[in-house]
Amino acid sequence: MTTQTLPAAAAGRFTIGGDLDVARLGYGAMQLTGPGIWGDPADPDEAVRVLRRAVELGVDLIDTADSYGPFVSEMLIKKALHPYPDGLVIATKGGLTRAGPDDWRPLARPEYLRQQCELSLRHLGLERIDLYQLHRIDAKVPLEDQIGELVLLQQEGKIRHIGLSEVSVEQIEQCRKLATIVSVQNLYNIANRGAEDVLGHCERENLGFIPWFPIATGELARPGGPLATAAEQHGASPAQLALAWLLRRSPVMLPIPGTSKVSHLEENVAAAEIRLTDEEYQALADAV
């Protein structure tokens, strides 16, 4: 394996749950849908090319959800990549329902989670989902019922590992009393580090931390700003530097930048090969 042919390998590796060894730079498939994460993409053929190119570049963690489309993203993954290559980890999520574009509503009743898991298995063409994440905790349903159903699905061999999304440290620990949790997916990027306490907890407990919206750069990318300046010095884009910063930030960090274009995908994955100096890393960390 060389980073020239598999640039994602330069990100290093992390083992999720003790047995899912993945490159630390993955791919998030949310944007492989229509506007508002609703319906089919404008260019389905390009979506297929993006997924196939991601694997060619060494990406072996693809993150999706039943609510992306709904189901559009999962079915595109199956169309593009099934039968799946050895070592490819497909993570999906259940627990958000859709009523239209940009409309997201938590729904995690046990019977709904079971239905959605079964549908994801069918749409992805899998007998077992390696990482199934509770997309949102549903405040209207006892936590024991939500996590308990995922444990039942795990015991039935339909789920390998259980992850969480958009949770606090307290919620993580509540869930860990009910099940083995291996990963957490929260909003986190160089410009928005509101989940710093959750990231620190994941580091201490060796849980994979999957930051969604990972390449938001905010004011840091303005001309003359610290991110733009560092990017210029590296001959890279601010988005690439933002990803390089995330990879440097923590050994449990698993960014999953998403895109619907092959050219943008290649740019994102190339960020794995960027090495920040201690001074560059700290300057960016201190800029927010």
**So which residues are the catalytic ones?**
68
CB 52 within 8 A of CB 80: yes
